[in-house]
A and B are shown apart, each in its own frame.
Chain A
Amino acid sequence: GQNIDQPTEMTATEGAIVQINCTYQTSGFNGLFWYQQHAGEAPTFLSYNVLDGLEEKGRFSSFLSRSKGYSYLLLKELQMKDSASYLCAPDLGGANNLFFGTGTRLTVIP
């Protein structure tokens, strides 16, 4: 089965750093996706981690620990436009299996 846990809401200040955690319990696991979703819009791809460790992509980095069932998304130099929901989605392999949590709604304040 799948059990995904993320904080429901977070608030951070413009220019700061924020870490969004995700823990998961799945019956199979290939990797983990992070998606960003602005209000009223579709989810858009941010990152996909297969191996343990930190992967950096500009202001966004994603970390994975397969043994601990844990991932986080790190956002640096926050901008107002980063206010959005961030969805953690473990990949159970195959063309199908992305299971999304309810996401973390991040609000960036001046």
Chain B
Amino acid sequence: DAGVIQSPRHEVTEMGQEVTLRCKPISGHNSLFWYRQTMMRGLELLIYFNNNVPIDDSGMPEDRFSAKMPNASFSTLKIQPSEPRDSAVYFCASSLAETLAGTDTQYFGPGTRLTVL
């Protein structure tokens, strides 16, 4: 398996623009996670899906952020409008966890480095 795939790997945009980050989880994995990593705050969970359903989005910083998972093999994280403080590395991860009661290792994608000018 190719592992978790993310695109783009790097994104530079101007304040106010819409940004869409994409993720393809490992085939057969049931849970998908979006994280944001900065030097100051470390790795923060933004939202996670189980069987394509958003379970907990309490980590999403504000209404400018939205995430979707239209099918088992694709998810997007959208920021509209983007702001300089959104600059960070955004990781997508997936795990087998078939139900909410399960705990399985999360496998991370390579990340998208976002810079908002």
User: Residues of A with Cβ closer than 8 Å to B?
Assistant: 30-31, 33, 41-45, 48, 87, 91, 93-96, 98-103
Q: Can you pick out 11 interface pairs between chain A and chain B where the beta carbons lie within 8 Å of each other?
A: A31-B103, A41-B111, A44-B108, A94-B101, A94-B103, A95-B30, A95-B31, A95-B99, A95-B104, A100-B44, A101-B42
Find out whether the CB atom of B107 lies under 8 angstroms from the CB atom of A94.
no
In the A-B complex, list the 3 residue pairs whose CB atoms are closest, starting with the nearest.
A102-B42, A42-B108, A95-B97
State the Cβ distance, A31 to closest chain B Cβ, in Å. 7
B interface bracket (residues with beta carbon within 8 Å of A):
20 to 34
Residues on B with beta carbons closer than 8 Å to the beta carbon of A87: 42-43
Residues on B with beta carbons closer than 8 Å to the beta carbon of A98: 45, 106
Find out whether the CB atom of B103 lies under 8 angstroms from the CB atom of A30.
yes
Residue A102 contacts which of B41, B95, B107, B109 (CB distance < 8 angstroms)?
Answer: B41
How far apart sit A63 and B107, CA to CA, in the bound complex (Å)?
22
Residues on B with beta carbons closer than 8 Å to the beta carbon of A44: 108
B14 within 8 A of A: no
Find out whether the CB atom of B43 lies under 8 angstroms from the CB atom of A100.
yes
